[in-house]
Amino acid sequence: MSKLLRVSVLLSFCVSFGLVGCGGGEGSKTVKLAPVSGTVTYKGGPLAGARVTFVPEKGPLAMAQTEIDGTFTLKSGALNGCAVGKAQVAVSIPTEGTGTPQMTLNPAPTTPEEMAENSRKMAEMTSMHQKTAASKKAESLIPTKYAEAATSGLSFTIEPGGSKDLLIELKD
The pLDDT assigned to 139 comes to 65
- pLDDT-derived band at 12, boundaries 50, 70, 90: very low
pLDDT (tens digit per residue) in 30-55: 889 999 999 999 998 999 999 999 99
The pLDDT assigned to 11 comes to 46
pLDDT (tens digit per residue) in 60-118: 999 999 999 999 999 999 999 999 999 999 999 976 544 444 455 556 667 778 777 77
Residue 49 identity:
G
The pLDDT assigned to 30 comes to 83
The pLDDT assigned to 54 comes to 97
The pLDDT assigned to 126 comes to 74
Better-predicted residue by pLDDT, 54 or 29: 54
Better-predicted residue by pLDDT, 14 or 166: 166
Better-predicted residue by pLDDT, 14 or 62: 62
The pLDDT assigned to 134 comes to 56
pLDDT (tens digit per residue) in 117-160: 777 777 777 777 666 655 555 567 899 999 999 999 999 999 99
Query: Is the whole model's pTM more than 0.85, yes or no?
Result: no
The pLDDT assigned to 5 comes to 39
The pLDDT assigned to 94 comes to 77
Domain ranges of the chain: 3-170
The pLDDT assigned to 3 comes to 47
Q: Which CATH topology does 3-170 take?
A: Immunoglobulin-like (2.60.40)
